[in-house]
Structure 1
Amino acid sequence: MTYPPAGFEQAADLFKALSSPSRLGLIGLLASRKMSVSELVEESGLSQPLVSQHLRVLRSSGLVTVERDGRIARYEVADTHVTHVVDDAVAHVREHADGSVDAG
């Protein structure tokens, strides 16, 4: 068996793309519906340039896709695996924060 196993490098790249709390928040917003940049700005409270920058990272990593409708671009999570990764990470952190997971 070669080490690291196939897919580990790509998985590390995925985690790098998700390493920003703002990007995690955008994924959370996009998990519920397709949204435009202006909708994401309004919902997240982030500036338009910052939202656009984060979307570029998420899009180049294959975590979100974009659909154009005339002049409006609507973003969505690429697939359910993305939301599962984020949801599982948040659940893990919350379990450890409230002490419900044995550290042993």
Structure 2
Amino acid sequence: MPKTKPLKTDPSVLVAVAEYFKVLSEASRLQILNCLKSGPMNVMEIAEATSLGQANLSKHLKMLTQAGVLSRQPKGTSAYYEIADPIIFELCELACDRISAHVQQQTESLKAFRSKTAVF
């Protein structure tokens, strides 16, 4: 198992980390991040790509922007949102890969269990 650095123990740092992960704990916000991976988009483009309603989308964009995950650039009558810190994709990929592997392992275990307990 690879060595890992210990977590920072300063309570204020831990609170900030917990708040950051809270922002990422909503599937709609992850969906927004995923659609912005290809580049900046305005609200209408994000709404179309995610199928989120205007009010719901605005709430999530505000949270992501306040957390520093997204930046907002006004252009004419629109505002364009983009990823402020691309490291977010590495973090999400790490989590997604790990969770996906865990789900796949659970599925295989369940299939093996079912094949052993099947009654003919």
Q: Shorter-chain TM-score: what band?
A: 0.7 to 0.9
Q: Does residue 34 of structure 2 align to residue 41 of structure 1?
A: no
Q: Which residue of 2 aligns with 1:98?
A: 104
Task: Give the deviation of 1:90 after TM superposition.
Answer: 1.2
Structure with a larger share of its residues in helix: 2
Q: Deviations over 1:2-44 (max 9, x none)?
A: 8346632221111011110000110111111101110011000
Q: What is aligned with 2:62?
A: 56
Higher RCO by CA contacts (8 Å cutoff, separation 6 or greater): 1
Q: How does 1:1-80 map to 2 (within 5 A)?
A: 3-4=9-10, 7-80=13-86
Equivalenced residues, count: 99
Distance in 2 between residues matched to 1:73 and 1:48, nearest whole Å: 14
Structure 2: distance between partners of 1:33 and 1:3: 36
2:88 matches 1:82: yes
Please, which runs of 5 or more residues in structure 1 have no aligned partner?
none
Which SS does the other structure have where 1:68 is aligned?
Answer: strand
Contact 1:77/1:83 (<8 A) preserved: no
Structure 2 CA distance for aligned equivalents of residues 71 and 59 of structure 1: 19
Amino acid at match of 1:63: V
Gaps of 5+ in 2: 1-7, 107-120
Aligned letter for 2:54? Q
Runs of 4+ in 1 over 6 A off after TM superposition: none
TM-score normalised to structure 2 length: 0.75
> If the length of structure 1 is used for normalisation, what is the TM-score?
0.86
Please provide the CA RMSD for this pair. 1.8
Find the aligned partners of 2:56 and 2:11 in 1 and give their Cα distance.
35
Does the 8 Å contact 1:66/1:73 carry over to 2?
yes
